[in-house]
C-alpha cells in the first residue's frame, strides 16, 4: 500500500510540473510522464494527467485519447470511458476500431456500449464536418507523383528534382491552408504527407553532407525550402508530434541530432535498460535536444519502462547456463544460443492486457550484451575449429 502511495505521489508531482503550460512541447513532455505512469501500471495517475491535459490544451492527439480511454477502462471510470470514446470518434475512429481486444470490457458493458452506439452518429457527423476533401485530394495527387519517383526506377537526380518541386507545392499548400490538422487524427493520409516531407528533408540533408552535391549545378539551383521550418512550427503548434517530427527532419541525416536508442542487457546484474547510442560525453547534449522538442529524455526510461515489455522475462540465467555448458563454441555459436533461447521466451510472452501505445514500448532494433563473454568459458575462435 505504501509503495502505491509513493508511486501515485511521484506521478502526480510530474504531472503538476507541466500542467499549467499551454506550449505544445510541454504537452508532449506531460504525455511522457503519463506514459511512464502507464509503464508502471499506475493507470489512475495516468488518467488524471490525461484528463487535465485535454482541459489545458486546445486540442489533443489520437494516441492520448486512446491511452486515456484504456486507463479509464482499467479504473472502471465509465463516464470517462464514454468521454474519451467520443474524443476518439472526433479523431477519426469508427465502430470497427472498437472491435480491438483493448476495448473488450467496454463492449461487454452492455449499458455503456449501447449508449456509445446511440451517440456515435452525431459525433461522427461532427468529425466529418472537419474534413476538407478538396484539400485532401490536392495532397493525394502530389503523393501519387511522389511515389512514381520513390521506387528507385529512375536516376537519383531526376527523383531529387521531382522531390524538390513537390516540396515547393506542399509548402505552398501549408502556407495557404495551414499545416494539415489531420496529423493529430487516425487518418490514412498521415503517412502519405509524412513521406513527402521526409523525401524533401532527406534531399536537404544529403546536400548538406556532400560537397560534390553542393558544387553540382542541379543542386545549387535548389534553394532551401521552408519545409523544415513549417514542420517545426507545426510541432510547436501541436499539429505534429515529436516522433513524426524527428522522422521527417532527420531522414537521411547521419548526425543523429536526437540520438538513437538501444537496449543493453547486462548479464552480471541480469537487468535490461534503454540507452542512447551516442558517446557518453554527448548524452547530456542529446537529451537536452530531445527535451527541447518533447521527446522523452532517455534517463527517464527507467526499469519500469523496459519491464513493461517482454524483456522483463529475458532468460538471463538460462542463457548463462547454456553458455557455460557449451564444450567448444565460437562467437557465432554463443550468439545463436542466446538468440534461440531469447526468441523462445519472446514468442511465449503474452501481452494480451497491455494494449497501450507509448514511446518506450517501441523497442529499438539495436541490442547489446554486456558482461557476456565472462560466461563464454570454452570460447574458440572461428579459425581454431575444424569448420
Report pLDDT digits (tens) over 92-109.
999 999 999 999 999 999
Percent of the chain with pLDDT over 90: 78
Alpha carbon distance 241, 238 (integer Å)? 7
Smallest Cα–Cα separation from 107: which of 127, 82, 71, 80?
Answer: 82
Predicted local distance difference test score (pLDDT) of residue 44: 98
Predicted local distance difference test score (pLDDT) of residue 2: 37
Percent of the chain with pLDDT over 70: 91
Task: State the average pLDDT for the chain.
Answer: 90
pLDDT band at residue 61, thresholds of 50, 70 and 90? very high
Give the range among 15-24, 34-43, 217-226, 368-377 with minimum mean pLDDT.
Answer: 15-24
Contact 49, 18 (CB under 8 A): no
Mapping DSSP to helix (H, G, I), strand (E, B) and coil, where does residue 368 land? strand
Alpha carbon distance 355, 346 (integer Å)? 17
Alpha carbon distance 55, 2 (integer Å)? 30
Query: Once rounded to an integer, what is the mean pLDDT over residues 190-217?
Result: 96
Predicted local distance difference test score (pLDDT) of residue 379: 82
Right CATH for 2-128 from 1.20.272, 3.40.50, 1.25.40, 2.40.160: 1.25.40
Contact 258, 295 (CB under 8 A): yes
Location of C-alpha cell 511515389? 147
pLDDT at 199 over 80: yes
pLDDT at 351 over 80: no
Query: Once rounded to an integer, what is the mean pLDDT over residues 170-190?
Result: 96
Predicted local distance difference test score (pLDDT) of residue 22: 56
Q: CA 250: distance to chain centroid?
A: 14
The per-residue pLDDT for range 74-86, each reduced to its tens digit, is 999 999 999 999 9
Residue 253: which residues within 8 A CB-CB, separation 6 or more? 201, 202, 205, 209
Query: Once rounded to an integer, what is the mean pLDDT over residues 54-81?
Result: 97
pLDDT at 217 over 80: yes
Residue 212: which residues within 8 A CB-CB, separation 6 or more? none
> Structure pTM?
0.88
pLDDT at 40 over 80: yes
pLDDT at 220 over 50: yes
Point out which residues pair with 59 in neighbouring strands: none
Predicted local distance difference test score (pLDDT) of residue 347: 87
Query: Once rounded to an integer, what is the mean pLDDT over residues 233-243?
Result: 97
The per-residue pLDDT for range 244-285, each reduced to its tens digit, is 999 999 999 988 789 999 999 999 999 999 999 999 999 999
pLDDT at 387 over 90: no
The per-residue pLDDT for range 296-337, each reduced to its tens digit, is 999 866 677 888 889 999 999 999 999 999 988 899 999 999
Query: Once rounded to an integer, what is the mean pLDDT over residues 359-380?
Result: 90
Cell numbers at 6, concatenated: 509513493
Amino acid at each position: 500500500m505504501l509503495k502505491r502511495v509513493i508511486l501515485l505521489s511521484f506521478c502526480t508531482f510530474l504531472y503538476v510540473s507541466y500542467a499549467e503550460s499551454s506550449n505544445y512541447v510541454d504537452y508532449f513532455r506531460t504525455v511522457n510522464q503519463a506514459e511512464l505512469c502507464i509503464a508502471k501500471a499506475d493507470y489512475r495517475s495516468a488518467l488524471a494527467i490525461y484528463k487535465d491535459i485535454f482541459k489545458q490544451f486546445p486540442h489533443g492527439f489520437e494516441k492520448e485519447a486512446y491511452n486515456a480511454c484504456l486507463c479509464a477502462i482499467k479504473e472502471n471510470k465509465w463516464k470517462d470511458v464514454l468521454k474519451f470514446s467520443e474524443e476518439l470518434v472526433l479523431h477519426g475512429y469508427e465502430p470497427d476500431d472498437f472491435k480491438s481486444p483493448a476495448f473488450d470490457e467496454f463492449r461487454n458493458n452492455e449499458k455503456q456500449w449501447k449508449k456509445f452506439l446511440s451517440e456515435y452518429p452525431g459525433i461522427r457527423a461532427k468529425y466529418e464536418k472537419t474534413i476538407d476533401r478538396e484539400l485532401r485530394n490536392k495532397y493525394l495527387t502530389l503523393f501519387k507523383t511522389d511515389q512514381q519517383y520513390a521506387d528507385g526506377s529512375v536516376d537519383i537526380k531526376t527523383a531529387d528534382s521531382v522531390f524538390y518541386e513537390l516540396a515547393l507545392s506542399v509548402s505552398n499548400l501549408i502556407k495557404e491552408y495551414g499545416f494539415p490538422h489531420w496529423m493529430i487524427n487516425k487518418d490514412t493520409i498521415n503517412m502519405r504527407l509524412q513521406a513527402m516531407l521526409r523525401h524533401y528533408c532527406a534531399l536537404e540533408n544529403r546536400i548538406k553532407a556532400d560537397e560534390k552535391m553542393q558544387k553540382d549545378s542541379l543542386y545549387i539551383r535548389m534553394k532551401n525550402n521552408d519545409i523544415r521550418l513549417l514542420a517545426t512550427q507545426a510541432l510547436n503548434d501541436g499539429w505534429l508530434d515529436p516522433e513524426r517530427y524527428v522522422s521527417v527532419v532527420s531522414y537521411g541525416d547521419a548526425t543523429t541530432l536526437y540520438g538513437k536508442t538501444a537496449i543493453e542487457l547486462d548479464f552480471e546484474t541480469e537487468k535490461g535498460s534503454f540507452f542512447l547510442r551516442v558517446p557518453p560525453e554527448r548524452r547530456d547534449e542529446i537529451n537536452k535536444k530531445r527535451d527541447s522538442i518533447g521527446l522523452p529524455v532517455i534517463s527517464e526510461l527507467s526499469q519500469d519502462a523496459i519491464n513493461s515489455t517482454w524483456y522483463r522475462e529475458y532468460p538471463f540465467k538460462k542463457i548463462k547456463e547454456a553458455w557455460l555448458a557449451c564444450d567448444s563454441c565460437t562467437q557465432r555459436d554463443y550468439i545463436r544460443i542466446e538468440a534461440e533461447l531469447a526468441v523462445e521466451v519472446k514468442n511465449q510472452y503474452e501481452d494480451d492486457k497491455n494494449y497501450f501505445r507509448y514511446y518506450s514500448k517501441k523497442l529499438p532494433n539495436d541490442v547489446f550484451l554486456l558482461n557476456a563473454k565472462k560466461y563464454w568459458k570454452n570460447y574458440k575462435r572461428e579459425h581454431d575449429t575444424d569448420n
